Amino acid sequence: MKNIQSISFLLIPLLALNVQFAFSQSSRFSAGKYGNDKGDTLKYRMLFPDADTLRKYPLVIFLHGSGERGSDNEAQLKWGVMNFATDQNMIMHPAIVIAPQCPEKMGWSNFSRGKTSSDMHLLPEPSKPMELLIGLIHQLIKTMPVDTNRIYITGLSMGGFGTYDAIERYPGLFAAAVPVCGGGDVSKVSTITHLPVWVFQGAEDPAVNPSYALDMLEALTKSGAHPGFTQYPEVGHFSWLGAYSDPLMMEWLFKQHK
Residue 16 has pLDDT above 70, yes or no: no
Q: Kindly state whether residue 76 falls inside one of the protein's structural domains.
A: yes
Q: Is the pLDDT of residue 5 over 60?
A: no
> Which region among 22-31, 64-73, 194-203, 216-225 has the lowest average model confidence (pLDDT)?
22-31
Query: Does 10 fall in a domain?
Result: no
Report residue 61: phi and psi, to 5°.
Answer: -105, 125
Look up the CATH number of the domain holding residue 185: 3.40.50.1820
Give domain status of residue 18, yes or no. no
- CA distances (Å), 9 to each of 3, 12, 102, in order? 10, 5, 40
Judged by phi (left if over 0) then psi (alpha if -120 to 50, else beta), residue 105 lies in left
What burial class does residue 116 get, using C-beta atoms within 10 Å of its C-beta: 0-12 exposed, 13-18 middle, 19+ buried?
Answer: exposed
pTM of the model: 0.89
Report helix angle 158-169 to 128-143, nearest 10: 60
Question: What is the predicted pLDDT for the residue at 132?
Answer: 98
Binned at pLDDT 50, 70 and 90, residue 115 comes out as low
pLDDT score of 117: 75
d(CA 110, CA 97): 24
Whole-number Å distance between alpha carbons of 2 and 84:
41
In a domain, 112, yes or no: yes
Query: Amino acid identity, residue 5?
Result: Q
In tens, the pLDDT along 163-187 reads 999 999 999 999 999 999 999 999 9
pLDDT reading at 15 higher than 60: no
User: Rounded to an integer, what distance in angstroms lies between the CA atom of residue 41 and that of residue 52?
Assistant: 30
The answer to whether residue 1 sits within a structural domain is: no
The proportion of the chain whose per-residue pLDDT surpasses 90, expressed as a percent, equals 84
Look over the chain and give the mean of its residue pLDDT values, rounded to a whole number.
90
Other Cβ atoms within 10 Å of 48 Cβ, number: 17
- Domain span at residue 138 reads 30-255
Report yes or no on 49 lying in a domain: yes
Task: Please state, in angstroms and rounded to a whole number, the distance separating the CA atoms of residues 222 and 218.
Answer: 6
pLDDT at 24: 55
User: How far is the C-alpha of 241 from the C-alpha of 255, rounded, in Å?
Assistant: 22
CA proximity to 249, closest of 173, 154, 174, 182: 154
Q: What is the pLDDT of residue 21?
A: 42
Helices (H), 170-209: none
pLDDT of residue 209: 92
pLDDT recorded at residue 63: 98
Task: Determine the Cα–Cα distance for residues 157 and 237; give it in Å rounded to an integer.
Answer: 8
The β-bridge relationship of strands 111-112 and 198-202 is unpaired
Confidence of residue 200 (pLDDT cuts 50, 70, 90): very high
pLDDT of residue 27: 81
Residues 61-94 pLDDT 10s:
999 999 999 999 999 999 999 999 999 999 999 9
Examine residue 15 and state whether it is found in any structural domain, yes or no: no
How many structural domains is the chain composed of? 1
3 within domain boundaries: no
The CA-CA-CA angle for residues 78, 80, 86, to 5°, reads 100
